[in-house]
Structure 1
Amino acid sequence: MDTINENGQSVSVTIANDGNNGSKQRKKQLYSSIKKYSWIFPLYSSISIVLMSVVPYITSTYYGYTDPIFPLVSDSAGYPPGASIFALLFIIEAIFATFTSWFRYKQVKYYLQSQSKDDQNVNFSKKLRSINWNLVTIMIFFTFGVIIFTTFRSTESIIMALIHSFGAALAVMCLALYLLGTIYSCWYLYKVYNIESLPISLIVSSSIQLIAITTFTLTFFASWYVSGFNFFDPYFRSKWPDNETRTLFLVTSISETISLLLVSTVNLCLFNRMRKFKDWDKIRF
């Protein structure tokens, strides 16, 4: 901008443009808020797990697709409109769970970097760093498994049911590994570095969940064995004619429901640990 000084001469004056600085400041604040409120990811995942267990069950039993007495979650979520709701909630939940594992990875990494690197703990620190990163990789595979078994429904055909089972097996295996790795890292963070607290709630809920997963796996194959390929007929599963083997199938469906609902408890444990962390601004992503 040109101005006239007291001697009548034209002087060019440049006024700094704060637009870019303001934009950068807003982006920085948004970035800081995302890190500060990263606990929203496990909290949403926890709520989503409950909804995806209840809503498809209500819709499938209301329309008469499945028996109201403990159907498989896959059967409840195999018919519209519950199927679409289940798929949407579970895929978003899996993605949010992967984000949770990434934020948790950064949090644990910060803990380890903040500790003095003495000779006594340096080897252990390297091991924990490796486990910490592998947990993120495991959750990425978990997401792929969820996408597979929510896309291919067990109620459509035998081929679809087999693909669905493969995706579910991948997701369950990754979930079990993630639980064990998370318990290990939380336990030794407290024991070695006195960081956070003992993961008692996480250990109890994860132990029950692993028992439920094991029970589901064994009884699933046992139910398949006693019923043959009729097991892949959704109508047969819903109306299961044999009362003796139906008890075995009920154990399968109940243990599946328990293992799914307990994922919510695990997410709440991570939510609590991430919410209490006050140094998110010191972590770079």
Structure 2
Amino acid sequence: MFWFQEGLCCLPTFLVVWSSSTFIVNYLIALFRRDVDVVFPYISDTGASPPESCIFGLMSTITAFAGFATMFARYKYLQRLNEITGGVSPALNKAALFFAITSCVGMCFVATFQETAIRIVHDIGAFIFFLSGVVYIILQTIISHKAHPYGTSKRVCYIRTIFAVVAFLAAFPTIICAFFVKETRLHWNPEDKEYTPHLASAVSEWIVSFTFVFFFFTYIQEFKQFTLKVNTELLEFK
């Protein structure tokens, strides 16, 4: 048995690899086609023009479903862990699942509605995705500390704390600076009036996005410890 076949660690492993590829592959394609600038475009800018918009939409949607599957598995694992050991509030676990769902829905909106087509819907989806995602990893960090020593090590708890703090701090310039960027454009010059808030928002967006990726990377070892089973029950029709 290979290491990625142990338990359910294939879920966060696939999520980390696929989501990273979503960001990097589309950036390289857009850069090769000269659809974006080299220096920190918005992630959405790399999927604004065809053909990369098609690839971005497909890969981002798959990322959203992979993210939901991973976060739902985490929810069920904590639910079972709490039944055995206690320590984790069921309400806190359900709250984390709620923000997991809303974050995935936000990503689906980002993937479906390109910023150059329907910007308002795209921006709302991005806002929901980033805000819910940051809240989710903060809640999971709190849960990790409460569940210790069961499930994960103290070192992983500290690492998740660092990621949560970085995501929280980077989320503010991502959202706030974006409000000062009124123009929808793929190419920027330092002389442009809105270049500074655009750059600050774009850099922060990349930081938050890869913080999400690295946070789910910490799930891999933990997901080796459990599996999920589906029970099928047939109802008798009268």
Residues 206-255 of structure 1 show CA distances to partners (whole Å, capped at 9, x for unaligned) of 21122111121122123x2xxxx4x12x2xx5134635642332121111
CA 256–135 in structure 1, closer or farther in 2 if over 3 Å, else same: same
How does 1:187-206 map onto structure 2 within 5 Å?
Answer: 187-190=145-148, 195-198=151-154, 199-206=157-164
Q: CA deviation at 1:182?
A: 0.4
Q: CA deviation at 1:195?
A: 4.7
Q: CA deviation at 1:72?
A: 1.0
Larger Rg: 1
Could you say which residue in structure 2 is the equivalent of 1:98?
68
1:86 to 2:56 alignment: yes
Q: CA deviation at 1:133?
A: 2.1
Distance, in Å, in 1 between the alignment partners of 2:99 and 2:82 is 21
CA RMSD of aligned residues (A): 2.3
Any stretches of 5+ residues in structure 2 without a counterpart?
232-238
Q: CA deviation at 1:201?
A: 1.2
1:50 to 2:6 alignment: no
Q: Secondary structure at the match of 1:180?
A: helix
Could you say which residue in structure 2 is the equivalent of 1:63?
33
1:147 to 2:108 alignment: yes
Q: CA deviation at 1:167?
A: 0.7
How does 1:150-189 map onto structure 2 within 5 Å?
Answer: 150-156=111-117, 160-189=118-147
User: TM-score, structure 2 length as denominator?
Assistant: 0.85
Could you say which residue in structure 2 is the equivalent of 1:112?
82
Residues 148-195 of structure 1 show CA distances to partners (whole Å, capped at 9, x for unaligned) of 111110123xxx0111001111111210121111011101111xx655
The percentage of aligned residue pairs carrying the same residue is: 17
Residues 92-127 of structure 1 show CA distances to partners (whole Å, capped at 9, x for unaligned) of 111111111121112112221112xxxxx7xx65xx
Structure number with the higher helix fraction is 1
User: TM-score, structure 1 length as denominator?
Assistant: 0.72
Equivalences, count: 226
Distance, in Å, in 1 between the alignment partners of 2:20 and 2:10 is 16
Could you say which residue in structure 1 is the equivalent of 2:170?
212
* Cα contact 2:42–2:205 (8 A) shared by 1: yes
Any stretches of 5+ residues in structure 1 without a counterpart?
1-34, 116-120
Question: Of 248, 265, 280, which residue of structure 1 is paired with 2:197?
Answer: 248
Q: Which AA in structure 2 matches 1:141?
A: T
Q: Which AA in structure 2 matches 1:259?
A: V
